[in-house]
Amino acid sequence: MTKGKKTITGAELLCRCLVEQGVTYLFGYTGGAIMPVYDAFPKFPQLKHVMVRNEQAAAFAAQGIARATGQVGVCIATSGPGAMNLLTGIADAHMDSIPLVAITGQVTSDVIGSDAFQEGDIVGSMIPITKQTYMLDDPYEIPRIVREAFYLANNGRKGPVNIDFPKDIANAVIPDEGFDDTIRYPVRQPVGITLAQLQHVKRLLASAERPVIFVGHGVIQGGAQAEVLELIEKTQIPFSVTLHGISALPAEHPLCLGMMGMHGTVEANRAIEHADLIIALGMRFDDRVTGKLNEYAKNADVIHIESDPAEINKNVRVSVAINSDLKPALVEILRVAELKDTKKWLATAVENRKLWTGLDPVNASAGLGPNGKLLMGYVIERLSEVTEGQDNVVSDVGQHQMFAARYYKFKRFNTWFNSGGAGTMGFALPTAMGVKIAKPNEQVWVVVGDGSFQMNIQELGTIMAQQLDIKIVLLNNNFLGMVRQWQDLFYDGRFVGTPVKNPDFITLASAYGIAGERVDGKEQLEAALQRAKVHKGAYLIEVMTDIEELILPMIPSGASFSDMRITK
């Protein structure tokens, strides 16, 4: 059958299709079932494989590429446990709408379903946490499925796609011709803004006295920052950002109220509580944003512009439901939007900001906590100053994440990376590897706690091997700080399962050839940050922080905005 014809193996065909999709970096870990694919890599020098130390990190590093560039990130693992280790990183990407293609090896077709060695039901495991999963059991389908996987990952609502690839298909030798790569599932386009909706928006804009614009992740993913900024400046309506909307627009813009929600700023949350109009752009009213739903923004009309129809009217009932990409809808709205007199409304926000500035321990107690140790908020504020708000910040999950979100004054577009929806500890170190590889000429800082650092600490090995110049700011209070805060506030101070007995992090880093220093006082901090900044190569600053620090304000889980706690 194959006589006289040019042939190709399934593994080579897969690699060639990846090259055609523009893939450069793959993060992964080899193993029995995926070996044929690895064996083909040298024939495709464009493909650069980065070996991680645990597959979970491969999914996060691929996310780093995707988050930093908007391109599809690629991770690869072997069957069974290798693929299973990917799941957390894939689920995280699904929650945050990050485009990934995860290639997993699978046992040979003839033994699938027989509990073969290192077999796992990966398609079954991936279905609830991906946009699409494929069992690639026909080598002729490789070109279509690879093309379709990349198309689906990065079109419509973005997200992860899994291709499960049995070993015998990778080894199959087939004639190199006659492939059909037609995409079978065209992504449905949003309907766009209608004339009636535009008129409704115009009326609401004209009559609103206390309007707020919400800037969500969609503004970054849709590249609509210029249109959003124009709307804000043309109308003089203040804006608040979601956790993932951070770095869409400059944090120090005079109309910026800062982050909204559970750990949002006083001025943002008070403005939302009293708003009579909310214009929500590319966001999904997550429970950390809304608190108690039936009391949320009770007096406000909500205009929601969102490309995913399933997110509209999901949590918050809206007055104008616009299923559209942001840019085209905003271009229309800009035609009807007019300058508003928001001076009085803005003055209220300024009052609230002053109120908080006076109470903020970072100012009120000169950056030191009740035990005389440094405050995380203060450390981030110094980091923001030393880097002039210009650098990339990859944060992990916990108190330090909220401090980084609130105190780093992002000046540049899409420079803030963190796990929002899933809240996965262990996110920062591996994701930063992807961000650094995607932006080799930019500075990348990891902000991480002592708990989350150790969730993927093995990736110091990858950082060492790849010589990645990543600066790590470890905020160490020898505690799982965020849970400790909840225990402090809502569990009568019973600190169960939260104290951490930590290793000597500086010695540990040095075992990986990573330079570092410990900071235990205000006077050392700035110099240490400066040293990290100019150091060639990775650098660890371990800052000893105050155990009793709380991230405030806080709207307790499930409470309403009027219950916001500004002080303990």
Partner 1 sequence: MKRKKLQTILAFAHNQPGVLNKLFSLIRRRRYNIETVTAGHTHVDGVSRMTITFSHEEGSKIEQIVKQIDKLTEITRTEDVTDANVINRELVLLKVKAKAEDRIHITATTEMVGGKVIYLAPDYVILEIVGKKPNIDNAIAMFEAFGILGIARTGPTVMHRDEEDMGLDRVVLPKKRDE
The residues of the shown chain that bind partner 1, judged by CB under 8 A, are 123-124, 127-128, 131-133, 135, 140, 144, 152, 157, 178, 180, 182-186, 188, 308-310, 313-314
Please, which residue, 187 or 206, has the CB nearer to partner 1? 187
> Could you tell me the smallest distance in angstroms from the CB atom of residue 156 to partner 1?
8
Is the link from the previous residue into 328 a cis peptide, with omega within 30 of 0?
A: no
In a 3-state reduction of DSSP, which class is residue 106? strand
**Do 444 and 37 contact (CB within 8 A), yes or no?**
no
Q: Shortest Cβ distance from residue 311 to partner 1 (Å)?
A: 9
Cα(473)–Cα(541) distance, integer angstroms: 5
Q: How deeply is 69 buried, as exposed, middle or buried, from its count of CB atoms within 10 A (0-12, 13-18, 19+)?
A: middle
The minimum distance between CB 1 and partner 1, in angstroms, equals 10
Minimum CB distance to partner 1, residue 33 (Å): 20
Nearest 10 degrees: Cα torsion 146, 151, 152, 153:
90
Closest-CA residue to 60 (of 392, 473, 418, 451): 418
Cβ closest to partner 1, residue 141 vs residue 230: 141
Residue 440, classed as helix, strand or coil, is: coil
* 3-state secondary structure (DSSP) of residue 140: helix
Q: How far is the CB of 183 from partner 1 (least distance, A)?
A: 7
Q: Measure the CA–CA gap between 59 and 419, rounded to whole angstroms.
A: 13
Nearest approach in angstroms of CB 44 to partner 1 is: 25
Q: In the structure encoding, which two tokens stand for residue 141, read together?
A: 């389908």
Closest of 367, 356, 390 to residue 526, by C-alpha: 367
- List the structure tokens of 364: 């009120």
Shorter beta-carbon distance to partner 1: residue 127 or 206 = 127
Contact between 522 and 365 under an 8 Å Cβ cutoff? The reply is no
Question: Pick from 437, 360, 431, 449: which is nearest to 393 by CA?
Answer: 431
Between 133 and 476, whose beta carbon lies closer to partner 1?
Answer: 133
The residue type at 245: G
Tell the smallest beta-carbon distance from residue 425 to partner 1 (Å): 23
Q: Are strands 320-323 and 392-395 parallel, antiparallel or unpaired?
A: unpaired
Our CB check for partner 1 shows the closer of 79 and 125 to be: 125
Would you say 1 or 496 has its CB closer to partner 1?
A: 1
CB of 217 to partner 1, least distance (A): 17
Which C-beta is closer to partner 1: that of 143 or that of 377? 143
Nearer to partner 1, 127 or 339 (CB): 127
Token readout for 546 is: 């105050």
Give the span between the Cα atoms of 442 and 259, in whole angstroms.
25
- Residue 284 or residue 400: which is nearer to partner 1 going by CB? 284
Which amino acids are annotated catalytic?
55, 117-118, 167, 482
Distance separating alpha carbons of residues 563 and 566, to the nearest angstrom: 9
Q: 370, 546 in Cβ contact below 8 A?
A: yes
Spatial contact of 543 and 474, defined as CB atoms under 8 Å apart: yes
Asked if residue 14 lies in contact with residue 37, where contact means CB atoms within 8 angstroms, the answer is yes
Instruction: Output the smallest distance, CB 316 to partner 1, in A.
Output: 12
CA-CA distance, 488 to 125, in Å (whole number)?
Answer: 37
Q: C-beta of 126: minimal distance to partner 1 in Å?
A: 10
Please name the amino acid found at residue 478. N
Question: Is 140 or 413 the residue whose CB approaches partner 1 more closely?
Answer: 140
> How many CA atoms lie within 13 Å of 65's alpha carbon, on the beta-carbon side?
21
Are β-strands 7-9 and 173-175 bridged in parallel, bridged antiparallel, or unpaired? antiparallel
User: How does DSSP assign 393-431, residue by residue?
Assistant: EEE-SSHHHHHHHHHS---STT-EE---SS--TT-HHHH
From 543, 241, 148, select the one nearest 381 (Cα to Cα).
543
Of 218 and 377, CB closest to partner 1? 218
Neighbours of 195 (CB within 10 A): 8
Residue that is written with structure tokens 């995707």 in the block: 66
Q: What's the token pair of residue 98?
A: 């990050």
Number of Cβ within a 10 Å radius of residue 473: 26
Amino acid at 456: N
Q: What's the min distance (Å) between Cβ of 175 and partner 1?
A: 12
